[in-house]
Structure 1
Amino acid sequence: MNEKSAEAQFTRAVNFLRRGDASSARPLMTKVVRAYPQSAPAHFMLGIACAMLSDNKRALECFDRAVEVDSSFIDAYINKGVVLKKMAFYDAAVACYDRALVINPRSAESYNNRGSAYLGLGRLHEAVEDFNHAITLNPTYADAYCNMGGALADSDAFAEALSMLDRAIELAPAMAEAHLNRGNALNGLRRFEEAVVSYEQALKLRPNYSEALCNRGHSLVELNRYEDALHSYNQAIKLEKNYASAFNGKAKSLVGLKKIDEALVCYERAIELKPEDALYEWGKALLLILQGNYEEGWRLYESRKRHKKFKENICRIQDFAQPLWLGEVNLSGKTILLHHEQGLGDTLQMLRYVPLLAKFGGDVVVQVPASLVQIAASADPAARIVAKGNPLPEFDLQCSFMSLPGMFRTTLDTVPSAVPYLQASKSSKQYWHQKLGDKSKYRIGLVWSGSAQHRNDHNRSIPLMALLPLLDIDAEFFSLQNEYREADGEVLRQKGQIQDHAKELGTFNDTAGFIEQLDLIISVDTAIAHLAGALGKPVWLLLPYSPDYRWGLEQSESAWYPSARLFRQPRAEDWESVVQTVANEVSKLVTA
């Protein structure tokens, strides 16, 4: 092949590549490489064709040959890094971009691509620094803005991520990945409807975008659109049959539809595909506990500790140098620390184990948030109670509260259900008795919402307006909440039937003394429901269609609280019929 012919073949091959036809380009460029083995551009373009055809091994060989011929061929290093990143060889990819930046320290593309490789290594801080460098060098570099937005979203800096992604889309409206990342940022901000719009824009641009289909499913689950979510996950799995995250999401949508057996199959498939992701095992654990399979469920519940981000940000489990207590029954001469994790209700539920642990012969130290200190002390007078944040005494073993059912090998039949296991202080009881005076009517405490920051708040909380049918009953009503959402506060002011003592409810001991003066507590799934159950007071719990794992699936009683009665939504988002059923039952009580 003479030089003129080789140049013509090279040009034809490049044109094929520009049209995305790597299959036609590869044989042409192979001929050029054979005729001119010292042509770095020819080796490079053959590498590009091989990479487009997913022949990664041959692509890497071509890029290596290109830099052997010309050690300053920066594009060969950059594209070798792209292939290595695609193969998840992130460290090797970083090394390629390091070399590219030696050749050209002002290469925005090299900084951007190295940042992407750092993301693969979980080195978020370095990734953000590289994306910043890329943007500084090229302020209109849409891909760098897109990657920066993705990195910030991974760091939970969702508002900053959204700003970067809006800029990326402004620069490149047809960039599907920018719309995907924007959806992820909006999902993190809990703006789920807007997130769905962004995912759907990504899918308009790239109809077979499996990640957009999967993540759209995540937002649809949060909106309780379980059927739509299921369809989205199925589409993603059809495109990518081994997509673990899609199987995990599909399981959640099936749980929302109460298709429990099908959900369990999906969790098991996700675990099979990606056993290192502890969140899939965690999801299976919750489902097993929901089904009543406590032995295996509470064992798998420990998986939450293996996912660093989930452990620190959601469960908020503390790390200690002392070993984990694994259920040994001889603690003589030892001190064990029980420490708070997750929500206040979780710890209230698990304080029942404190006196059981004390029977094993050791000293028990209980670390809880300040608002729980006084009420926690009533679980066992011998236990030492420490407010979280205060110095701890020396101890030998430790266990977080939510690990106790597993360590005690608790089954549905062996739940320590004796109540009351908590008591309000004498002074708190006296205060509220004097405050409320002698009873002239049936007294009912109401709780309709928990913390708005709770991950499942949109399912468990209801507006105060939904409880208004109860107020037609001839009884006294008291709010047990110490904070109100704006709309609820307005209803509370307009309706004078609900007495408000929020300013006097500083701790759970204050609330416990208040509850002791009431006949019945009607509550959504909040810490107050746990407190009432722990005090042995009648508590009627209003549960969503797909309830929290601890309440089981169908039963109207609770294994954890004998004084509790469970009222369940017959269908998703149907609080009206739940409240009407409760109103009818309360009327019978009051009449009796």
Structure 2
Amino acid sequence: MLGFFLGKKEESRDFKTGEMNNLVESVTAESLFKAAGEAFDRDDTVKALDLYAQVIHLQPDFEKAHVMLGFLYKERGNLLKAKLHLSKAVELKADLADAWYLLGGIASLENDAETAIKNWRRSIEISPSQEHVYVELSFALYQRKQVEEAVAVVEAGLQYFPRNIGMLQHYGNYCLYLFRYAQAMGAYMRALEQNPHSVELIFNYVVCCVVLMKLDEAFEGFAQIRRLQPDYSPALVLEGALRLKLGDFEQGWKLYEHRWNTSELTGWRFVTSKPKWDGTQSLEGKTLLIASEQGYGDTIQFCRFIPQLEKFGCTVHFVVLSPLYEMMEQMSGVTQLLRETDPLPVYDYYCDLMSVPLALQVTVESIPSASGYLRSMESRVLHWRSRLEHQKRQRRVGIVWAGNPEHKNNYLRSISFAAIQQLFALDLDFTILQKEIGAVEKQELQRFDNVHFYGDEVTTFIDTAALVELMDIVVTVDTSVAHLAGAMNKPTWVLLSYHSDWRWLLNTDRSPWYDSVRLFRQQIGEPWANVVETVKLALAK
């Protein structure tokens, strides 16, 4: 990249040592610079470094030599010397686009994103025709969640380089993040025109198709990816999730098994030398270990299958995350319940919890225990009943408007306080069931005497279950509370984003997993406030 930015190659081609055989020429900074460029072209960076240093010795204000020294020292990892020479270069001549670009790269390596962004912006202002700078600047902004600015940078770059695949792909990715699926699709399509066999580009295009429910295009894309790279796990998992969402559990469960080959779930994989039970091996007289996976809601939803294993004549051990241990103690069919940190007993087979439906060949019609399978603890219900005595309104509503901020899809499923607060105008008592709320929200809640938050008093799922038991209805976004309330057969209204999880299926306001759940679906482009207004009207009846 740097071989061109100073016009060095062109200059070095004019330097012919053969033409100098009969010439007596005094050594000048310019001739040394040309010789250094020749050495650089031969990849003799040691010689080039020495010659560029001689240039500076002869002519300290030779700014292009400072830039090349900065580049070479940066490549060697000597960022201090690199920065010294590059800073000197821009001090001598402020409009050196390449020096600002390199200074941006050094700042990025030093984890100083703010300075990197500032330097890259300066580089583009000086010389707008630098493809690589647009990409790096936009990505730095994206990493800082300044995604609108990242989009603007790439849009500017595409004015100069409308067919640059890297920029088109980044533009698509940023639009995808901002839910601008039509724009993202357009960018990916333009990139695919030039590189139609890029599996990553096809996959990103398919993601947009899935969100926009362009099913024919999505399945065509899946087929194309299988032809190009049959083992591309992200596509296999996405297709599995889509088939589950469409109610095709037979194919969906099989494809969903590829989740363990994705980087996203690497940390969740249960590592063992024992064979995995897939439903074909006899379990008579054997010990089966079930390992929970992913989130709390997944464990709550899928633990219903544990009692189904008794019919195979096996002993069942169940490993769960510690916060769910007390809640899971009530599960029938479990010989030994274990926390994830407990030593494991002897066992013959294992199975991941969300793989059990595949082994049991579960269909939409055969989902068990939809009428409830978990209950609250009586002692905690008694405790919380006394705490809630001050709530005297006619009905109690449990409320959750935001999930775990660390969840990858939290930005999709959570609702702003500004949108949800319209519910609080109703003459009902609202108990907040989510664990955390922001400082600003706490301040805002002081305006409502019918909204109650017990904060640190709710320490376990046993406490949450007791509160759910004492509610008349639970209104929640797609979090573990939705699954807990549904598993307790509590009337539960779940507010779903337009791109909801596969388990809530499509085109229905009911769930085959929970008889007591009613679904309120957001449409593409619809603000959450509209969905909340629908819920408000339903609550008011």
Q: 1:338-353 residue pairs with structure 2 within 5 A?
A: 338-353=290-305
RMSD (CA atoms): 3.5
Structure with more relative contact order (C-alpha pairs < 8 Å, separation 6 or more): 2
Is 1:177 aligned with 2:132? yes
1:3-82 superposed matches below 5 A = none
The reply on whether 1:526 has 2:479 as its aligned counterpart is yes
Kindly indicate whether residue 264 of structure 2 is the aligned counterpart of residue 310 of structure 1.
yes
Q: Distance in 2 between matches of 1:559 and 1:131?
A: 59
CA deviation after TM superposition for structure 1 residue 374, in Å: 0.7
Residue 333 to residue 545, structure 1, CA distance change in 2 (3 Å): same
Q: How many matched pairs?
A: 472
Contact 2:473 2:492 in 1 (8 A): yes
Q: Deviations over 1:345-404 (max 9, x none)?
A: 111111111111233222222222221111112222634222223333233322222222
The one of 373, 395, 399 equivalent to 2:325 is 373
Identify the match of residue 432 of structure 1 among 380, 384, 404: 384
Cα distance change on mapping 1:213 and 1:379 into 2, 3 Å: same
SS across alignment from 2:512: coil
Question: What SS does structure 2 have at the residue aligned with 1:431?
Answer: helix
Gaps of 5+ in 1: 1-14, 20-24, 26-72, 79-99, 109-128
Distance in 1 (CA, whole Å) between partners of 2:276 and 2:107 is: 39
What are the equivalent positions in structure 2 for 1:355-374 lying under 5 Å apart?
355-374=307-326
- Choose from 512, 517, 525 the match for 1:559: 512
Cα shift at 1:420? 1.8
Output aligned runs, 1:430-579, within 5 Å.
Answer: 430-437=382-389, 441-579=394-532
Residue in 2 that maps onto 1:320: 272
Match for residue 246 of structure 1?
Answer: 201
Deviation track 1:168-188 (CA, whole Å, cap 9, x = no partner) reads 666676542243234334444
- Equivalent residue number for residue 77 of structure 2: 133
Of 290, 294, 300, 2:245 maps to 290
CA distance in 2 between counterparts of 1:485 and 1:422 reads 30
Q: CA deviation at 1:412?
A: 1.6
* Contact 2:309–2:333, Cα closer than 8 Å, also in 1: no
Q: What does 1:116-127 correspond to in 2, within 5 Å? A: none
Quick one: structure 1 residues 103 and 365, their matched pair in 2 at CA, closer, same or farther if it must change by over 3 Å?
Answer: farther
Partner SS state of residue 316, structure 2: strand
Partner of 1:274: 229
Q: How much has 1:572 moved relative to structure 2? A: 2.5
1:312 alignment partner AA: T
* Worse overlay, 267-276 or 532-541: 267-276
Change (3 A) 1:292 1:442: same
Distance apart, 1:105 and its partner CA: 11
Task: Give the partner amino acid of 2:422.
Answer: P
Residue 254 of structure 2 is aligned to residue 299 of structure 1: yes
Distance change >3 Å, CA 132–CA 317, structure 1 → 2? farther
Corresponding residue number in structure 2 for 1:66: none
Work out whether residues 340 and 400 of structure 1, in 8 Å CA contact, stay in contact via their aligned partners in 2.
yes
- The equivalent residue for 1:45 is none
Deviation for aligned residue 1:134:
6.7
Q: How far is the alpha carbon of 1:445 from its aligned partner?
A: 0.7
Equivalent residue for 2:181? Answer: 226
Contact kept, 8 Å, 2:318 with 2:334, in 1: the verdict is no
2-side partners of 1:435 and 1:296: how far apart? 48
Per-residue CA deviation, residues 46-80 of structure 1 (Å, 9 max, x unaligned), is xxxxxxxxxxxxxxxxxxxxxxxxxxx987886xx
Q: CA deviation at 1:526?
A: 0.7
Relative to 1, partners in 2 of residues 1:181 and 1:338: Cα closer, same or farther, differing over 3 Å? farther
Q: For the residues of structure 2 that align with 1:163 and 1:131, how far apart are their CA atoms?
A: 19
Structure 2 CA distance for aligned equivalents of residues 270 and 429 of structure 1: 52
Is the alpha carbon distance of 1:239 and 1:142 closer, same or farther for their aligned partners in structure 2, counting shifts above 3 Å?
A: farther
The corresponding residue for 2:533 is: 580
SS of residue matched to 1:385: strand
Shift of 1:103: 9.8
For residues 531-556 of structure 1, the C-alpha deviation after alignment (integer angstroms, 9 at most, x for no partner) is: 10111111101111221111112111
Residue aligned with 1:269, SS:
helix
1:200 aligns with 2:152: no
Shift of the 239–490 alpha-carbon distance from structure 1 to 2, 3 Å rule, reads: farther
Compute the displacement of 1:447 (Å): 0.6
Partner residue in 1 for 2:287: 335
Does the alignment pair 1:418 with 2:373?
no
One-letter amino acid of the structure 1 residue matched with residue 373 of structure 2:
Y
**Match for residue 55 of structure 2?**
none
TM-score for both structures, normalised by structure 1? 0.71
Check 1:143–1:311 CA distance in 2 against 1; reply closer, same or farther (3 A cut): farther
Q: 2-side partners of 1:540 and 1:311: how far apart?
A: 29
CA distance in 1: counterparts of 2:286 and 2:133, whole angstroms? 56
Query: AA paired with 1:416?
Result: P
Q: Distance in 2 between matches of 1:440 and 1:377?
A: 34
Q: Rate the CA distance shift 1:397–1:164 in 2: closer, same or farther, 3 A.
A: farther
Where does structure 2 lack aligned partners over 5 or more consecutive residues?
1-6, 14-37, 53-72, 87-98
User: How far apart, CA to CA, are the structure 2 residues paired with 1:527 and 1:107?
Assistant: 65
Give the 3-state SS of the residue equivalent to 1:446 in structure 2: strand
Q: How far apart are residue 495 of structure 1 and its match?
A: 1.6
CA gap 1:466/1:76 in 2 versus in 1, 3 angstroms: closer
Q: Which amino acid aligns with 1:386?
A: L
Name the amino acid aligned to 2:247: G
Q: Tell me: CA distance 1:324–1:197, structure 2 relative to 1, closer, same or farther (3 Å).
A: farther
Query: C-alpha displacement at 1:167, in angstroms?
Result: 5.4
Deviations 1:530-587 (A, max 9, x none): 1101111111011112211111121110011111001111343422222222222222
> Is structure 2 residue 394 aligned with structure 1 residue 394?
no
Q: Is the 8 A contact 2:158 2:167 kept in 1?
A: yes
- Is the contact between residue 306 and residue 334 of structure 2 (CA under 8 Å) also seen in structure 1? no
Q: Quote the offset at 1:137 in angstroms.
A: 7.2
Query: Is the 8 Å Cα contact of residues 523 and 529 (structure 1) preserved in structure 2?
Result: yes
Cα distance between partner residues in 2 of 1:575 and 1:447: 14
The answer (yes or no) to whether the contact 2:372–2:514 under 8 Å persists in 1 is no
Q: Please give the TM-score of this superposition, normalised by the length of structure 2.
A: 0.77
1:86-105 equivalent positions in 2, closer than 5 A = none
Counterpart AA for 2:223: E
Return the alpha-carbon distance in structure 1 between the equivalents of residues 51 and 242 of structure 2: 50
Q: Cα gap change, 1:190/1:413 in structure 2, threshold over 3 Å: closer, same or farther?
A: farther
Shift of 1:408: 2.3
CA–CA distance in 1 between the matches of 2:378 and 2:420? 32
**Change in CA separation of 1:165 and 1:471 when aligned onto 2, cut-off 3 Å:** closer
Contact 1:146 1:181 in 2 (8 A): no
Is the partner of 2:192 in helix, strand or coil? helix
